[in-house]
Copies of this chain bind each other. A is one copy, B any other.
Amino acid sequence: MAPITNGRLIFKEIPTGYPIPGKTTVYDTTSTIDLENEPLDGSVLVKTLVLSVDPYLRGKMRAPERQSYTPPFFVGEPLYNFGVGKVVRSENSAFKAGDHVYGVLDFAEYFIPKDITKLEVIVRPEPTLPYSVYVGAAGMPGQTSYYGWKAYAKAKAGEVVFVTTAAGPVGSLVVQLAKQDGLKVIASAGTDEKVKFCKEIGADVAFNYKTTNTADVLAKEGPIDIYWDNVGGPTLEAAIANTALQARIIICGYISQYNGEEDYGIKNIKNVLFNQLSINGLYVTAHHERYKDEFYKVIPKKLASGEFKYTEDITRGLESGGEAILEVQKGLNTAKKIIVVADD
């Protein structure tokens, strides 16, 4: 078989603000791959099926010398993120042709991972759930919610939690975990449709933060015992101002300051002392070993049975990957953003 085009989404340039499709990221079709003969050197050849698009990817689009919890993308190379693929050929005994694999995949139609340890044959405790869910509610974003809630929320029935980006893949699972634990849930989102979804999944109070003042809602519905922060900035400040004594704040994202916005100074950090707050920065990978078995035992079942709800916003084709990334940074996606690169 002759070599075929291997479409790839390349990290072209470090952005200063939002990541611009065609500038920050470029869809490249100049590379080819011979599916039958490409040397594998003990690795596997993977056909990419679905890729996750997450807010945190913006943090990887930085100068490599800047330290962060997640390694940087390298200019000139494909982006990568959690996804599901199918093994085309294998020279590794842990994988065979036809296996579906989960892990960190290149934004490429086909690729041969240098680090095979970042892939594993996918375990689908609930085979009725599509593969895309295993990069969403039953994958990394869902794990983020579950691990963070288990590790830091210290939730007690009757307490009040405030969840931001509550219609998103992380927030929506937090809302449902909180309801399951008997909490009162205040949820915010950026469109009326998302607010509607928050109510459907059980939020007691849900509002559109673009048309309703967050501090006013918290003053009325709080004080809050737990704040799940996906946004940072003034919203974090409003949450701190409305904390109960010994409240817990989980900083899971900081989307308000990912895209070159001026750093917002939080003026009420002394309330951390006065209210005996606990604040933790959540990085899902740090908790994976501890909670992953429990997660795969509990969450897919609830998703498959419909007890926990999830939604997806699918982009088809890797050539639209740059737009998908930008949508997520701007909050224009309507649900968990997935790129379907190829059908199974």
Interface residues of A (CB under 8 A from B): 59, 67-69, 232, 236, 245-246, 251-254, 257, 263-283, 286
Contact, CB under 8 Å: B276 / A281: yes
Contact, CB under 8 Å: B276 / A246: no
Contact, CB under 8 Å: B269 / A232: yes
Contact, CB under 8 Å: B236 / A257: no
For A68, give the chain B residue with the smallest CB separation: B274
Choose one: B267, B269, B281; the contact of A274 (CB below 8 Å). B281
For A262, give the chain B residue with the smallest CB separation: B267
Please give, as numbers and ranges, the residues of chain B lying within 8 Å of A252 by CB-CB distance. 273
A268→B266 CA distance, assembly (Å): 9
A-B pairs, 9 with minimum CB distance: A265-B265, A263-B267, A254-B270, A279-B279, A272-B281, A273-B281, A68-B274, A276-B281, A265-B267
Please give, as numbers and ranges, the residues of chain B lying within 8 Å of A268 by CB-CB distance. 263
A118→B252 CA distance, assembly (Å): 41
A129→B86 CA distance, assembly (Å): 73
Please give, as numbers and ranges, the residues of chain B lying within 8 Å of A283 by CB-CB distance. 273, 276
CB distance from A230 to the nearest CB of B (A): 10
Contact, CB under 8 Å: A69 / B270: no
A264→B286 CA distance, assembly (Å): 32
Please give, as numbers and ranges, the residues of chain B lying within 8 Å of A232 by CB-CB distance. 269-270, 273
Please give, as numbers and ranges, the residues of chain B lying within 8 Å of A270 by CB-CB distance. 232, 251, 254, 257, 263
20 sample A-B contacts, Cβ–Cβ < 8 Å, listed by A number: A59-B274, A69-B275, A232-B270, A232-B273, A236-B269, A246-B286, A251-B269, A257-B270, A263-B270, A264-B265, A265-B265, A266-B266, A266-B269, A274-B281, A276-B280, A276-B282, A276-B286, A278-B281, A279-B279, A279-B280
Contact, CB under 8 Å: A281 / B277: yes
For A274, give the chain B residue with the smallest CB separation: B68
For A66, give the chain B residue with the smallest CB separation: B274
For A277, give the chain B residue with the smallest CB separation: B281
Please give, as numbers and ranges, the residues of chain B lying within 8 Å of A59 by CB-CB distance. 274
| Interface core residue of A254, A267, A268, A269 (most chain B CB under 10 Å) | A269
CB distance from A224 to the nearest CB of B (A): 13
| Interface core residue of A245, A251, A265, A274 (most chain B CB under 10 Å) | A274
Please give, as numbers and ranges, the residues of chain B lying within 8 Å of A245 by CB-CB distance. 67, 69
A254→B232 CA distance, assembly (Å): 22
Contact, CB under 8 Å: A264 / B263: no
Q: A245-B69, A264-B267, A281-B277 are in contact. Are A272 and B251 (CB under 8 A)?
A: yes
A12→B280 CA distance, assembly (Å): 40
For A283, give the chain B residue with the smallest CB separation: B276
Please give, as numbers and ranges, the residues of chain B lying within 8 Å of A275 by CB-CB distance. 67-69, 281
